[in-house]
Amino acid sequence: MWNSEELDLDAYLAFLHYEGDRAPTLATLRALQRAHVLNVRWDTLDSFLYRKVRLDLPSLQDKLIRRGRGGYCFEHVTLFAAVLEKLGFDFTAVSGRVQLGADQHRPRPATHAMLLVDLDGTRRLVDVGFGHSPLEPIDLVDGATSDAGPWPYLLRWQEITHGSPGWAVHQRDGEDAWQVRQVFTENPQYAVDYAVGNHYVASNDRSPFAIRPYVQRLRTDRYDTLDALTWTTERPGAAPAKQAVEPHEVPKLLDDVFGIRTDPEEAALLVRRLTDLAAEPPTRP
């Protein structure tokens, strides 16, 4: 279903520096999720530059593994689904709605891809494509938490959209509060469903990923983002540090901070597009 026959598993695992067991166990799943989130890069550059993102497995392996570029959730999850299929895991793909302050009665489109893995009688959420992603699977149980990384997560069964129940992933909002990050149901999704969502996210004028670049990198002690021309670094327990950057500085910043390599032609195009973006008048709120 996820074209794992086209996957170069050895190359993928080498990119992750993973030399552990390949049996479909919880220990393997935990190790692979952590290694994927920390090593496979995250960016929306193809949406911003070309308004086109390919989800076929050869293209994903070339982009994310061979060339060391980043991708967003549909790319990460499609690749990771092929890995899990190759290793013999039982899982279901699902889609969620990113919330982060949005009104649940005016839902955003379901354009965040995730996996639910069934293992040893327990279903677990595996979210490798958010960028700022959990470093471990989360049991699909009301009140389950993840504390594997510096930023914790909480999973709740609650009202999610227009009175309908479903799952909500919460992230910390300050020291004592939680904020809903994304909501989802267990309705199965397939590669063709991801192709539809991916087309919207990559090319629609209302997609934030098509109108400006967004780049993320999570480490165990810091989290960096580049939102258009604003670079932000967050560390556990500290206030975010923000810095404005110039268009010509971005290719080097991508390489030095985010571990993302752009070839000279693509770097030049990115600088031109960012220069044009910086010259646009601000939109009215």
- Reported as a single tens digit per residue, the pLDDT across 90-148 is 999 999 999 987 776 777 899 999 999 999 999 999 999 999 999 999 999 999 999 98
| Pairwise CA distance, residues 101 & 179, whole Å | 8
Query: Would you say 168 and 154 are in contact if contact means Cβ atoms under 8 Å apart?
Result: no
Closest CA to 127 of 140, 142, 111, 116: 116
| Pairwise CA distance, residues 225 & 181, whole Å | 17
Query: Would you say 201 and 96 are in contact if contact means Cβ atoms under 8 Å apart?
Result: no
State pLDDT tens for residues 60-79.
999 999 999 999 999 999 99
Q: Does pTM top 0.75 for this prediction?
A: yes
| Pairwise CA distance, residues 208 & 205, whole Å | 8
**Residue 48: what residue type?**
F
How far are the Cα atoms of 48, 188, 235 from residue 166, in angstroms, in the given order?
32, 14, 31
pLDDT, residue 283, reads 59
Q: Beta partners for 169?
A: 155, 182
Cβ neighbours for 252, distance < 8 A, ≥ 6 positions apart:
none
285 pLDDT higher than 70: no
* Class of domain 4-194 as given by CATH: alpha beta
DSSP assignment letter at 220: S
Over residues 46-68, the mean pLDDT reads 97
Q: Where in the chain is the domain with CATH 3.30.2140.10?
A: 212-279
Over residues 205-233, the mean pLDDT reads 96
CA angle 153, 158, 163 (to 5 degrees): 140
Say whether domain 212-279 belongs to CATH 3.30.450.20.
Answer: no
Q: Where in the chain is the domain with CATH 3.30.2140.20?
A: 4-194
167 pLDDT higher than 50: yes
Closest CA to 183 of 152, 212, 157, 217: 157
Over residues 55-61, the mean pLDDT reads 98
pLDDT, residue 282, reads 62
Over residues 13-30, the mean pLDDT reads 98
Helices vs. strands in the chain: H and E counts, helices first: 9, 13
How far are the Cα atoms of 33, 40, 194, 281 from residue 128, in angstroms, in the given order?
7, 9, 15, 35
